[in-house]
Structure formats: C-alpha cells, structure tokens
Copies of this chain bind each other. A is one copy, B any other.
C-alpha cells in the first residue's frame, strides 16, 4: 500500500465511500463474512470494475479468487470515514425540515449526532425535540466551542441563508450542509454542500420525460 501522503482520492470515489460503508455494515449484520466485487455490484448498483478501482485506492484490500473480507473492509472504511470519532453537529433552523432531521438524528449512524439546535424565532426557543433543546442564535458561538461541534446543518429559509451561514462560519465551524439552495459566500477553508431538493426533483422529471417517453433529448449516462 502506498503511503498516505501520495494518495489522491478521486472525488467520484470519495462520494461512494459512505455508500460502501453503509452496505458493508448491513452485510455484516446479516452475517455475511465475505463479498465479491460482482455480488457487491448487484447489491449497490455500481459496476464491479468501479468498485474494484475505488477499493484499490486504499490498498490491496481483497484476495484473488476469494473476494473481500467484510469485516476487514469495514475496518478500512471506518478508518477512512473516521467513524470512531463522534461527529457533533449543530442544526440551525428548527422548522419543518429541521424538526424532521432532529427526530431522525441519523439514527443508524452511531457517530453522527445532532447535539444542538438553534433558531431565531423566540417561540421555538426552549422547545425540546427528541432530546435536543432549541437555543437562541446568540448562544451558538459559545456552545459550538463548549460542545466541540464541528459541523452544521442549516435548514433556514433561503432569505436568511447567507446571514445564518455567516454566523455559523463565525462560530468556527468549517463544514456546512445547507438545505437552502441559494449559493452563499464562505471563506476558502469552509466546505459547504447543498442539498437542493427542487433541483433533484426537476432533474429527475426532466430525465424521465426526455429519456424515456418523448425522445427529444438523450443522455450519456445515469447517476
């Protein structure tokens, strides 16, 4: 295995790691001890060549004529995703979507935890949702530090997105998942990822309409 310093993980690979990890855990729970790239391929609907290529970036994880050891793979991907360290997350905007996220709280992922919630609406403050108390925005900076929070999820309306992201950044957080689709400005070192449900839906419908029934446009591949 190459030294970590020289590894360049392709972006496309990085995005698939959590999927691999999730399914490996499922397999382990079902008592499966080894898996071949072809079998895994069928399960997760990713071509086996892509799986093998992806895995190969992290070393020689399998054995010819045998496949991969499920628990070893889990060990490897667990290290890559650093799942042994609890990720303490703040949620900002305890509205409809925020409450749904709080109630779910990444149940199946023991190391992902929403530990704080913030809102600007005085009526929300003090409410307890699935064990998490909603606090005023003014408490954020201090709590982020005190609670060791590293990540934020923003579910505020688009109109307040930039303002809220500014506050999140100011609190020292460097990773933000934003459900408001409007692009906001963040400093270089801050990673922001958008979850844009409307766009996903529109793209889906567009592809359905144009790829399947009315053959006006064609697409080169799927996602």
Question: Which of B45, B81, B206 interacts with A183 by CB under 8 Å?
Answer: B45
Q: Which of A112, A202, A215, A218 has the most CB of B within 10 A?
A: A202
Binds B, one of A28-36, A93-101, A134-142, A161-169: A93-101
CA distance A195 to B11 in the complex (A): 18
Closest to A208 in B: B175
**Interface residues in A190-223 (C-beta closer than 8 Å to B):** 191, 193, 195-213, 215-223
Q: Mark A1-44, 1 if CB is under 8 A from B, else 0.
A: 00011011111001101110110000000000000000000011
Is the CB of A177 closer than 8 A to any CB of chain B? yes
Question: Which of B104, B108, B195 interacts with A195 by CB under 8 Å?
Answer: B195
Residues of the B chain whose Cβ atoms lie less than 8 Å from the Cβ of A104? 96-97
Is the CB of A52 closer than 8 A to any CB of chain B? no
Residues of the B chain whose Cβ atoms lie less than 8 Å from the Cβ of A195? 195, 197, 200
> In the bound complex, do residue B204 and residue A193 qualify as a contact, i.e. CB atoms below 8 Å apart?
yes
> In the bound complex, do residue A205 and residue B175 qualify as a contact, i.e. CB atoms below 8 Å apart?
yes
> In the bound complex, do residue B4 and residue A216 qualify as a contact, i.e. CB atoms below 8 Å apart?
yes
CA distance A10 to B220 in the complex (A): 6
Closest Cβ of chain B: how far from A55's Cβ, in Å?
A: 15
Is the CB of A64 closer than 8 A to any CB of chain B? no
> In the bound complex, do residue A201 and residue B106 qualify as a contact, i.e. CB atoms below 8 Å apart?
yes
Q: Mark A79-112, 1 if CB is under 8 A from B, else 0.
A: 0111000010100000011011101101011001
Residues of the B chain whose Cβ atoms lie less than 8 Å from the Cβ of A106? 197-198, 201
Closest to A175 in B: B208
> In the bound complex, do residue A206 and residue B81 qualify as a contact, i.e. CB atoms below 8 Å apart?
yes
Closest Cβ of chain B: how far from A174's Cβ, in Å?
A: 6
Residues of the B chain whose Cβ atoms lie less than 8 Å from the Cβ of A17? 202-203, 206
Closest Cβ of chain B: how far from A61's Cβ, in Å?
A: 16
Given A96-B99, A208-B174: A219 touches B15 (CB 8 Å cut-off): no
Is the CB of A154 closer than 8 A to any CB of chain B? no
> In the bound complex, do residue A199 and residue B22 qualify as a contact, i.e. CB atoms below 8 Å apart?
yes
> In the bound complex, do residue A14 and residue B99 qualify as a contact, i.e. CB atoms below 8 Å apart?
no
